[in-house]
Copies of this chain bind each other. A is one copy, B any other.
Amino acid sequence: MKRNSITILLVAVLVLISCNNTNTSKNASVTTKAEKELIFDRGNKIDSPNFTGDAWLNNLITPEDENRNAVGSVTFSPGSRTSWHSHPAGQIILALNGIGYYQEKGKPVEIIRKGEVVKCPHNIPHWHGASPDSEFIQVAITGRENGPTVWMEPVTDEEYDGYNKD
C-alpha cells in the first residue's frame, strides 16, 4: 500500500506540473496581447534639448493654414519629461497608457493616469512626462494659431521629485 500511495502522489504531482506549464503559456500569450493593445506606433526618438531622458514622437497631424492643430503621440520612458514650456494657444493632453506627471508653475505635481485628460491654459509654464517607475503615453493636441511652443529651462531632479516630497 505504501508504494501505491507514493505512485498516487507521483501521478498527482506530474499532472499538477503539466497544469502549471499550461498556465504559464496562457499568461505569456496574455502579455503578448497586452503589448498589442498600443494604439499608435511610438514613432521616432526625440533628439531635443527640450527633453530630459528618452522620449519618442509620432506626429499624427501636422498643422497647416486650414487646420491649426498639431496632434502627436508622445511616449515617455520612466523618469523622462519635457522642459518647462508654454503654448500660446494651449494644449490638450489625452493619457493613453501608463502613469505620467504634469505640473503648472507654482502648483504641485499632478499624477496623470490612462484615460485622464489635461487642459493646459494659454501661456502657462508647465511640464509633463512619465513617473519614475512607469512609461507614459499621451496624445497632445496643440493649437498653433498663436505661434509655436515657448521652451524654457529643463525640469531639475528636485522639481521632478517634488511630487514624492509633497
| A contact residues vs B (CB 8 Å cutoff) | 4, 7-8, 11-12, 15-16, 19, 22-23, 26-27, 30, 33-34, 37, 39-41, 60-61, 66-69, 71, 90, 92, 94, 96-97, 114-115, 117, 119, 121-122, 139, 141, 143
* The one of B90, B96, B122 that contacts A39, using a Cβ cutoff of 8 Å: B96
Q: Bound complex: CA of A121 vs CA of B19, how far in Å?
A: 55
Q: Bound complex: CA of A92 vs CA of B92, how far in Å?
A: 14
List 19 extra interface pairs beyond A19-B19, A67-B143, CB under 8 A.
Answer: A8-B8, A8-B11, A12-B15, A19-B22, A23-B23, A30-B33, A33-B34, A39-B39, A39-B96, A41-B115, A60-B94, A61-B92, A66-B122, A67-B92, A67-B119, A68-B143, A71-B94, A94-B139, A139-B139
Are B141 and A69 touching (Cβ within 8 A)? yes
Are B117 and A90 touching (Cβ within 8 A)? no
Number of this chain's copies in the assembly equals 2
Q: Bound complex: CA of A89 vs CA of B11, how far in Å?
A: 70
Are A115 and B39 touching (Cβ within 8 A)? yes
Q: Bound complex: CA of A16 vs CA of B22, how far in Å?
A: 11
23 A-B pairs with C-beta separation under 8 A: A4-B7, A7-B8, A11-B11, A11-B12, A15-B19, A26-B26, A26-B30, A37-B37, A39-B96, A39-B97, A39-B114, A60-B117, A61-B92, A61-B117, A66-B90, A66-B122, A67-B119, A67-B143, A68-B143, A71-B94, A71-B141, A94-B139, A141-B141
